[in-house]
Chain A
Amino acid sequence: MNFFSPLTDGLRGLGRATLFLFTILAGLPEALLRPRLIFQQIYSVGVLSLIIIVVSGSFIGMVLALQGYRTLVNFGAASSLGVLVALSIVRELGPVITALLFAGRAGSALAAEIGLMKATDQLSGMEMMAVDPIKRVIAPRFIAGLIAMPLLASIFSMMAIGVAGGHAIGVELLGVDDGSYWSQINQAMHGADIRDMLIKATVFGLAISWIAVYQGYHAAPTSEGVSRATTSTVVVSSLAILALDFVLTAFMFH
């Protein structure tokens, strides 16, 4: 046991994960030729995550509207409620909370599925049938995560700002004028905000998919190993999302 061993272990893990990412990227062209496999995965990581995203988006929008209204009304600025909700959601909460939920719902499932496939020799079996598991199993799941995240973040934001969430509480319940709710959003929010949200969501999607497939593929082939891979996926992904969010925001904030 060396004083620096946690650091060297961490670096070694990062190096292995990077090499693994390159292997996946090398397998992407072949995986893209079989869109059916990718659609199946988009269904299981994206469509099946919809309920949690829609419900969370609605509630977070509602809470933001309630809290925002209490403060804004003191300054007679309740008509700016839409801007407050919309910018908070699009710039930060939309991509970040979607990513945290996605890591918990889809990332953990991915890691557990791949880990169990490994533990039950399904991946080895594929290799022995001359089928590359990276191209057949890993790459389609990786691409699906990458595509699903920006779509889910957009749906989350729409739910939080307009469809339910902020609009339902602000306009329907607290009586903010519908016209000023939307027109102020229209004035304050720019295309760049939406672009930045999509960039953040895509980067988070990449990070979560990468972490999940890496953890699953390198899980010890035991029940304990699979459980550890699932936990690590959620913990590492969550930390990565928050750290990446800071870095991306710092770049976008000028």
Chain B
Amino acid sequence: MTTAADSLVRVRSMKFGFGPKVIYDGIDLDIVRGKITAILGPSGTGKTTLLRLIGGQWKPDAGSIEFDGINVHQQSRKQLFELRKRMGLLFQTGALLTDLSVFENVAFPLREHTTFPESMIRDLVLMKLEAVGLRGAAKLYPSEISGGMNRRVALARAIALEPDMIMYDEPFTGQDPISMGVLIRLIQGLNRSLNLTSVIVTHDVEDVMRIADYVYVLSGGKVLDHGSPAEVQQSKSALVRQFLNGEADGPVSFHYKAARSYADDLMAGRE
């Protein structure tokens, strides 16, 4: 078990729902400093929601979320913004500003939050772009580069302010094997070289298991299992095993629940 000093993010008895729909029913979760934590779970379990909750965009109905010992949801808007400068969130789409060039996108947080002279901003942006291998694309616009490159630019932008933590929302979805490999290498490399803490939300089990130090499996508003990738793979939970092995049928049924049986449904058409 981790101690308070080890974990950068501590989620305790957190409950959250959209109206009557319960997304989280009292979960505990720790994101350990300097490590890569993967959060796995079937689609619709609210993995992205968790990142938005940690980022303070949404407020839990009960329980607490702490970032570096600070309760995220008890901050004023100004304090929350200060806190957010220490965490980066990489959206699934990249969320680049489409009216700005790649260079200006990476420069955006620097221009907004620092008073660095133009020459320094230029150097910093080029360094960040070099780190993700896209210095050559600095003058292009987001619409002119591929989806994978969009995500790499977003990553360069996320590390521009040198945050303590980066949260990745489904970074591998829709990527070809090459750009997937590039992203995996980048996430791992940046985590080590910048001494970051990384949180990856995904359902690409195989790829993330290779780089994660710790894994949480979520489903139905609960933490089903957590531990090192090797521990989770030996999970006692049938649902976790079904998810990790990608079996079509199991505790999560192949069939969507119907009001009446198959035979009844077929017979009903003859009446």
Task: Name A residues whose Cβ lies closer than 8 Å to a Cβ of B.
Answer: 117, 120-122, 124-132, 136
Known contacts A122-B98, A125-B91: A136-B112 contact under CB 8 Å: yes
Q: Which of B55, B85, B93 contacts A121 (CB 8 A)?
A: B93
Q: Which of B57, B93, B96, B113 contacts A128 (CB 8 A)?
A: B57
Q: Which B63-93 residues have C-beta < 8 A from chain A? A: 81-82, 84-85, 87-89, 91-93
A-B contact pairs, 23 of them (CB 8 A): A120-B95, A121-B91, A121-B95, A122-B95, A124-B52, A124-B91, A124-B95, A125-B89, A125-B97, A125-B154, A127-B57, A128-B57, A128-B89, A129-B85, A129-B112, A129-B157, A129-B161, A130-B81, A130-B84, A130-B112, A131-B108, A131-B112, A131-B113
Residues of chain A within 8 A of B108, CB atoms compared: 129, 131
B109 within 8 A of A: yes
Smallest CB-CB A-B distances: 10 pairs: A125-B95, A121-B95, A130-B81, A130-B84, A128-B89, A121-B91, A130-B85, A129-B109, A131-B112, A128-B55
Alpha-carbon separation in the docked complex, A129 to B57 (Å): 12
Alpha-carbon separation in the docked complex, A122 to B154 (Å): 11
For the complex, count residues of B whose C-beta is within 8 A of A: 24
Q: How far is the CB of A177 from chain B (nearest CB, A)?
A: 52
Contact A129 B91 (CB under 8 A): no
Task: Name B residues whose Cβ lies closer than 8 Å to a Cβ of A.
Answer: 52, 55, 57, 81-82, 84-85, 87-89, 91-93, 95-98, 108-109, 112-113, 154, 157, 161
Q: Which of A120, A124, A131, A132 contacts B109 (CB 8 A)?
A: A131
Alpha-carbon separation in the docked complex, A132 to B80 (Å): 11
Residues of chain A within 8 A of B55, CB atoms compared: 128
Chain B CB count within 10 A is highest, among A125, A127, A136, for: A125
Contact A122 B109 (CB under 8 A): no
Q: How far is the CB of A124 from chain B (nearest CB, A)?
A: 7
Q: How far is the CB of A218 from chain B (nearest CB, A)?
A: 16
Residues of chain B within 8 A of A126, CB atoms compared: 97
Residues of chain B within 8 A of A124, CB atoms compared: 52, 57, 91, 95
Alpha-carbon separation in the docked complex, A122 to B142 (Å): 12
Contact B81 A132 (CB under 8 A): yes
Q: Which of B82, B92, B95 contacts A130 (CB 8 A)?
A: B82
Alpha-carbon separation in the docked complex, A120 to B161 (Å): 22
Residues of chain B within 8 A of A132, CB atoms compared: 81
Chain B CB count within 10 A is highest, among A120, A122, A129, for: A129
Q: A117-B97, A128-B88, A129-B157 are in contact. List 9 more A-B contacts (CB 8 A).
A: A120-B93, A121-B95, A124-B95, A125-B154, A128-B87, A129-B88, A129-B109, A131-B108, A131-B109
Identity of the chain A residue whose Cβ is nearest the Cβ of B87 in the assembled complex? A128
Residues of chain A within 8 A of B85, CB atoms compared: 129-130
Q: How far is the CB of B143 from chain A (nearest CB, A)?
A: 11
Residues of chain B within 8 A of A127, CB atoms compared: 57, 84
Q: How far is the CB of A68 from chain B (nearest CB, A)?
A: 45
Q: How far is the CB of B19 from chain A (nearest CB, A)?
A: 16
Residues of chain B within 8 A of A128, CB atoms compared: 55, 57, 84, 87-89
Residues of chain B within 8 A of A120, CB atoms compared: 93, 95, 98
Residues of chain B within 8 A of A131, CB atoms compared: 108-109, 112-113
Identity of the chain B residue whose Cβ is nearest the Cβ of A137 in the assembled complex? B97
Residues of chain A within 8 A of B95, CB atoms compared: 120-122, 124-125
Alpha-carbon separation in the docked complex, A136 to B109 (Å): 12
Alpha-carbon separation in the docked complex, A129 to B108 (Å): 9
Residues of chain A within 8 A of B88, CB atoms compared: 128-129
Residues of chain B within 8 A of A130, CB atoms compared: 81-82, 84-85, 109, 112-113
